[in-house]
Structure 1
Amino acid sequence: MNPVAHAVRLGLARGWIEFRHGLTSSTDIYFNAFIAIAFVVVLYFQREVTLPGTNLSLSAATLPGMLALLVVVGGLAGTVGTLSVEREDGTLLRAKALPHGMTGYLVGKIIVTSAGGLVTMLIVLVAGLVMVPAIRQPGAGEWTLFAGTVALGLLAMLPWGAVIGSLISNPQAAGGLSMLSISLLTTTSGIFYPITSMPEWLQVVSQIFPLYWLALGMRAALAPDGAVAAEIGQSWREFETLGVLGLWALAGLLLAPPILRRMARRESGSAVQQRRERAIQRVG
């Protein structure tokens, strides 16, 4: 068997095993349940409220943004945090010892992070479809768009999370940088309000990054037809959405493995021990 294909197959198996293990971890279950419940509670209290000057339910406008944010936080911040921690505890050092181990490691992280995020997203989506009557009842075309947006969104976020995590060894600094990046992009990408309300130069900048297109794809699949009036060009731009997300995913998948391998070459038993000692000092 081709060595790279074998590494990918091992990564798929590893990701599935880690996901099943997470289903038995009370910490992971409580954390994901807390996020899902918090989002559902917000939707519940917004269901009777309309956006000023429109008949659009606030919850109908919020739900697509929530789902997009779950993809970003799980894919980017989740990967950054996991990679930083696993550099510190020696997991990456062990993966480095295997042939094409970093490729298998990256595939495993994509699987386990995607699967865990999809569970939380499914809870919020089902609750939203039940509680928010204004949400479009998706047909086959809308569900296809939704699935494609989620898949490409995860592939656009996860590898870049691995890139950021490989460049920063301190878990606290890595987590802070990833959340700061998400906060800035969320503020300027029109996830929860129309991007057309922003200056034109900022609209152009926001369209460079995948977060805007991820939220747009979610709205195209779920938001009422009338909501398109608030979008750029009064169009959902489905093909552009999938194209931009696909380009970000392709770039991340091409860049992440060599960057991870370069980072792994610097890993050693002594480096892991030093990071463990620094971690103990932080806790102490």
Structure 2
Amino acid sequence: MSTTATTTGLDQREGTARRQPGTLRQGLVRGGVELLQFVRERDSVIFGFAYPILMLAIFATVFGDDDPIVVDGVTVSFAQYFLPGMVATGVMLSTYQTLAISIAVERDDGTLKRLRATPLPATSYFLGKVLLSLVTVLAQTALLLAVAALAFGVPLPDDAGRWTTFAWVFVLGTAAGAVCGVAYSSVPSSGRSASAVVVTPILVLQFTSGVFFPVTQLPGWMLDLSSLFPLKWIAQGMRSVFLPDVMASAEPSGAWQHGATAAVLAAWLVVALVVGARTFRWRRHDDG
């Protein structure tokens, strides 16, 4: 009887294991849960989507046509010059900032601890977070481009080459930002401190990476320091998409540096993956 019962129990567990959905499928399901939770937080949705649009509107209105950017006789409006930086900012806010804060809060309130005790694979949890970031940043960027074109007359690219550049910079930037957010989520000591700890670095980088000011107005040491981080390269890559080619001469190197952009973003993706895998915590510091 004992042997029969043991065999039956093993068969049941094996059947359950066989019926367990795959990691990818569970990740997609988890992503749906994350998206549902996200849209239910209407204030976060509104302010998250509105921030880059409001900043574009403010800067375009303040500077307007009275203060265009002129390089080698080519003139672009401040709204057009400012748009790439806002696309880059939207990517980092919807990936790095959103994930770092939300994961830190979930760790603090015990959500991660409870999820860790379920059959949900860790990889599926992270896939769900990445899916959330990808969907939100796609929606945010599409809305931003629509407003820029319709409300401020910013010309969008009309050739496939520029949109190809946009695609790979966008994908690499989103991936790097998401993985950096997961890795950085272990830095805040609590959910209450997460916003300050996470937002401060990205806010500083917005001022030093050519997002809020033309790169020609920033000191060299500041640009050199910012070149160590992804935001500067995402913004530069996006400028190569939305600005005339002649504007490349205004960059510190005098070129768009697509190769360097890809290399730096890929390096951050790999380094953040390694660091995140070694440092990620499912429990609070005071919870063992």
Q: TM-score, normalised by structure 2?
A: 0.80
Letter in 2 for 1:6: G
Q: How does 1:266-281 map to 2 (within 5 A)?
A: 266=283, 271=287
Aligned residue number for residue 213 of structure 1: 233
User: Whose radius of gyration is greater, 1 or 2?
Assistant: 2
Letter in 1 for 2:23: A
CA distance in 2, matches of 1:82, 1:162: 9
For the pair 1:42 / 2:62, whether they are aligned, the reply is: no
Select which of 136, 142, 163 maps to 1:116: 136
CA deviations on 1:19-76 (whole Å, 9 max, x unpaired) are 1453455334433454365245336625534336663211111111111111112212
Q: How does 1:94-105 map to 2 (within 5 A)?
A: 94-98=114-118, 101-105=121-125
Select which of 273, 279, 284 maps to 1:259: 279
CA distance in 2, matches of 1:126, 1:254: 37
Letter in 1 for 2:167: A
- What secondary structure sits across from 1:167 in the alignment? coil
CA distance in 1, matches of 2:162, 2:133: 24
Residue segments in structure 1 that go unaligned for 5+ positions in a row: 273-284
CA distance in 2, matches of 1:25, 1:201: 40
Does the CA-based 8 Å contact 2:210-2:232 persist in structure 1? yes
| Deviation of 1:15 (Å) | 1.0
| Deviation of 1:212 (Å) | 0.8
Check 1:267–1:171 CA distance in 2 against 1; reply closer, same or farther (3 A cut).
closer
Check 1:26–1:195 CA distance in 2 against 1; reply closer, same or farther (3 A cut).
closer
CA distance in 2, matches of 1:183, 1:25: 23
Q: How does 1:189-268 map to 2 (within 5 A)?
A: 189-260=209-280, 263-264=281-282, 266=283
Aligned residue number for residue 68 of structure 2: 51
| Deviation of 1:87 (Å) | 1.2
Report which stretch shifted further, 47-56 or 235-244.
Answer: 47-56
The count of residues paired between Structure 1 and Structure 2 equals 266
Check 1:145–1:61 CA distance in 2 against 1; reply closer, same or farther (3 A cut).
same
CA distance in 1, matches of 2:212, 2:49: 22
For the pair 1:71 / 2:88, whether they are aligned, the reply is: no
CA distance in 2, matches of 1:72, 1:33: 12
Residue segments in structure 2 that go unaligned for 5+ positions in a row: 1-16
Q: How does 1:40-189 map to 2 (within 5 A)?
A: 41-42=57-58, 45=61, 46-51=63-68, 55-98=75-118, 101-133=121-153, 135-189=155-209
Check 1:231–1:36 CA distance in 2 against 1; reply closer, same or farther (3 A cut).
closer
Does the CA-based 8 Å contact 1:136-1:224 persist in structure 2? no
Letter in 2 for 1:13: V
| Deviation of 1:213 (Å) | 0.4
For the pair 1:16 / 2:14, whether they are aligned, the reply is: no
CA deviations on 1:198-235 (whole Å, 9 max, x unpaired) are 44443332222111101001101111233222112321
Does the CA-based 8 Å contact 2:105-2:194 persist in structure 1? no
CA distance in 2, matches of 1:44, 1:137: 19
- Identity of matched residues, %: 28
Does the CA-based 8 Å contact 1:194-1:231 persist in structure 2? no
